[in-house]
Amino acid sequence: MPYEWTSSPTDPERWELSLWPYRSLLRKDFALFFGATAVIVTFPLIALLGKTALWGILPFFGLMMLGLWAALSASYKRGEVLEVLGATVEQVNLKRHNTDGSVQTWTANRYWVSVHLHQFGGPVENYLTLRGGDREVELGAFLDVDERLALYGELKRALLSGPPKMG
């Protein structure tokens, strides 16, 4: 799952939850995928070598490769979001690191923080929010539907008794 629980070794009441979007294609595999796609698409062009039709098709080949590059780059840019939820005995903090470099923060008294799962009617199915004080903030909207559902149960338990034991 694209989230991870960590506990403080010195303070068992202090923990963090880090969430990030799932990536199906890693950066190191990008060059391999892009190169293989270029080779596969180039095979039909071999039949046109020495013909004037090649010059008519070549710009479209270039546009296709440029479009693929732009789409994958945009996907990676959107995937640079990181949300870090930290909790101590007294308070809960949420920091969202956006793709433009800005950071949004939210802090609330842990006693008043509640976790809500909006199965229908939210921007996404199983929309997960935290409510505390006078604000309600979303959490993990980029996660899969089932991941948000699993996280809901884990987060409710974590706010009551600490993060899940890993390993």
CA distances from 78 to 81, 98, 99, 109, 140 (A): 7, 9, 6, 31, 14
Answer whether 2's CB lies under 8 Å from 21's CB.
yes
73 and 115 share a domain?
Answer: no
For the chain, what is the domain count?
Answer: 2
126 and 137 share a domain?
Answer: yes
pLDDT at 167: 45
69 and 111 share a domain?
Answer: no
88 and 157 share a domain?
Answer: yes
126 and 157 share a domain?
Answer: yes
Residue type, position 115, single letter: V
Question: What is the domain range of residue 145?
Answer: 3-22+81-161
Cα distance between residue 91 and residue 113, in whole Å: 9
Per-residue pLDDT tens digits for 15-41: 999 999 887 777 788 888 989 999 999
Ramachandran region, residue 133 (left: φ > 0; alpha: ψ -120 to 50; beta: rest) = left
pTM of the model: 0.75
Most confident by average pLDDT, 12-16, 66-70, 119-123: 66-70
